[in-house]
Amino acid sequence: MNPLPPGQERHDEVDELYRRASERDPSRPSEATRRAVLAHAERLAAARLTAPPRRPRGARWWPAAFGTLAAGILAALLVVPSQLGPGVPPPARKPASAGELAANAARAPRAPAEPAPADKLASGPDSERRAAGVPAAPPRSAPALALREAEHPGARSRFAPEPAAPAAEKRAGSLMDVTPTQADTSSQSVAVTGAPAAAARAAAGAAGRDSQPEEAADALHRGAAAGDVAVLDGLLAQPTDVNARDAAGRTALLVAVLHGRGAAIAMLLAHGADPNAADSAGTTPLAAARARGDVATAEILRRHGAR
Amino acid sequence: MTDAPESDEDLLGRYARGEARAFELLYRRHEMRVWRYLERNAGNRATADELMQEVWFAVARDAARFEPGSRFAPWLFAIARHRMIDAVRARRRHVSLEEVGYEAAPVVEQLTTEPSIGPLAAVLVREQSGALTRALGELPGEQRDALLLQLEGELSVEEVAAITRSSFETTKSRLRYARTKLRELLREHA
């Protein structure tokens, strides 16, 4: 630890009382937070090691100027011969008239000044798909209904799977069958997800790296349900849609809230998870937190703009 | 004769150059100090946990921007304080630390449910830590903040003044009042 700077008022009785009470205070940050912080730092350190060394600020203009000059020379070498035409000795050629120059220009192969229409079309839907990945805000009436029902003891029935999505019924049911006590125990959460933690982490990493977006989304939901921040950190380091939905329309954030996974909730929100994304039944993360009586999570969600 | 431990600033520099182990050493060295500062100011464990993550994420991200020649602790606690104020602002509009409600109950509840200590020790811990929590909760927000910065960050009056953007004299008087009041409160509970 660094020595105290000069001029500080040294320990008195209060310092001593404070220190003694602090030593006996068993309060600690959660293990999940510690893991998330260290995993994040490790990932950034690895990225720094692989990144090319940064150039000094003053010299930044030089590569750009050199590149521009080289591109200009290259363009001149390519364009000038095509303007001159083959087999005509340059010294014997008379100065060209304006009409001849125009004709030459018309004969010369035209460099594509802008992308072909096919390129434009290819890039268009991609960006639209990305935009479509961000879920629209739920209709106001749905969360309002969910909140009203959440205040009553039978509110959990609100989270029952949609009849319209039979394939999702079993999975959605398994998420909500977990009581808060169960959800807080990592070994039991492994049982919920149906895979040992290490295997889940490996599968999630693989899903994030080189598989279909659906698999990455599935891994994200499983990581959120298990509260496995290491898995989430790995997945979110890849280009993953943090607001991807499962068959019941749930985002990973909603799943994490349903399981009371504080660190996972914080991580998903930090990566831009939509705090207002409701599932197919209209249940928002805030409504789910209230239904669980999870005041702290509700507060965190509100801070991130949940309504 | 043993070697002096590596300074915080050197560790941060090593981390900025890509040594993850240096960050871990730095984190473990300051983990509890930052945690107590956040938890005792926020009075809420869930919020403190979230802020803890945000603070250390910011340290990892901005390590390369740390100004050579300056001290690490004031930089770290300035980040922690900014995050906490952002959290408070998000919770309520135009709020100063003076207006932050102090939620002592959850901390005391955690102490009573701590599984690793026996029942008698738990009673003692609850009394002492509960007394400290209550005493801190009774301090005005700005005094509590200044005192926690000094006690947990081991910062000088000048550094606390710079972080809280207050004058030296104001900070000094806040700290004096905070210490006097805390001494009285802790004696009452002792």
> Are A38 and B23 within 8 A, CB to CB?
yes
For residue B169, the model assigns a pLDDT of 96
How far, in Å, CA of A17 to CA of B188, rounded? 12
For residue A55, the model assigns a pLDDT of 54
Each residue of A112-121: pLDDT tens digit?
333 333 333 3
- A108–chain B nearest CA distance, Å: 52
> Higher model confidence: residue B55 or residue A19?
B55
Each residue of B148-158: pLDDT tens digit?
999 999 999 99
Provide the chain B residues 145-184 that lie in CB contact (below 8 A) with chain A: 150-151, 154-159, 175, 179, 182-183
SS3 readout for B100-155: CCCCHHHHHHHHHCCCCCCHHHHHHHHHHHHHHHHHHHHCCHHHHHHHHHHHHHCC
DSSP SS3 for A245: strand
- Which residue of chain A comes nearest to B49, CA vs CA? A29
Nearest CB to B35 within list A4, A5, A28: A28
> Are B186 and A17 within 8 A, CB to CB?
yes
Lowest-confidence pick of A104-108, A212-216, B181-185: A104-108
For residue B63, the model assigns a pLDDT of 94
- A288–chain B nearest CA distance, Å: 17
How far, in Å, CA of A126 to CA of A132, rounded? 10
For residue A105, the model assigns a pLDDT of 43
Lowest-confidence pick of A177-191, A221-235, B99-113: A177-191
Angle of CA points A42, A44, A48, to nearest 5°: 115
- Bridge partners (DSSP) of residue A245 are A251
- Model confidence at A223: pLDDT above 90: no
How far, in Å, CA of B88 to CA of B82, rounded? 10
Supply the pTM of this predicted model: 0.49
Lowest-confidence pick of A36-45, A47-56, A269-278, B50-59: A47-56
Structure-token pair, residue A39: 């995993």
Contact predicate B171/B146, CB 8 Å: yes
Chain A CB within 8 Å of residue B17 CB: yes
Lowest-confidence pick of A207-216, A224-233, A279-288: A207-216
Give φ, ψ of A251 to 5 degrees: -85, 165
- Model confidence at B30: pLDDT above 70: yes
Chain A CB within 8 Å of residue B116 CB: yes
- Which residue of chain B comes nearest to A30, CA vs CA? B49
Chain A CB within 8 Å of residue B66 CB: no
- Model confidence at B15: pLDDT above 60: yes
For residue A281, the model assigns a pLDDT of 78
| Tally of residues, chain A | 307
- A101–chain B nearest CA distance, Å: 57
Each residue of A90-113: pLDDT tens digit?
444 444 444 444 444 444 444 333
Q: How confident is the model at residue A77 (pLDDT cuts 50, 70, 90)?
A: confident
- Per CB-CB distance under 8 Å, the chain A contacts of B29 are 1
> Are A41 and B23 within 8 A, CB to CB?
yes
Each residue of B94-109: pLDDT tens digit?
444 444 444 443 433 3
Provide the chain B residues 75-114 that lie in CB contact (below 8 A) with chain A: 87, 90-91, 106-107, 110-111, 114
Ramachandran bin of A108, using left for φ above 0, alpha for ψ from -120 to 50, beta for the remaining angles:
beta
Structure-token pair, residue A84: 């001159």
For residue B45, the model assigns a pLDDT of 86
Quote the ipTM score: 0.79
Q: Which residues contact B185 (CB under 8 A, 6 or more apart)?
A: B131, B134, B135, B138
- Model confidence at A149: pLDDT above 60: no
Mean pLDDT (whole number) for A23-44: 89
For residue B57, the model assigns a pLDDT of 95
Contact predicate B9/B59, CB 8 Å: no
Hey, which of A74-83, A141-150, A188-197 has the most confident mean pLDDT? A74-83
Hey, which of A48-57, A144-153, A185-194, B36-45 has the most confident mean pLDDT? B36-45
Lowest-confidence pick of A203-212, A264-273, B16-25, B123-132: A203-212
Lowest-confidence pick of B8-12, B58-62, B116-120: B116-120
For residue A165, the model assigns a pLDDT of 36
> Are A26 and B182 within 8 A, CB to CB?
no
Chain A CB within 8 Å of residue B29 CB: yes
Mean pLDDT (whole number) for A269-282: 86
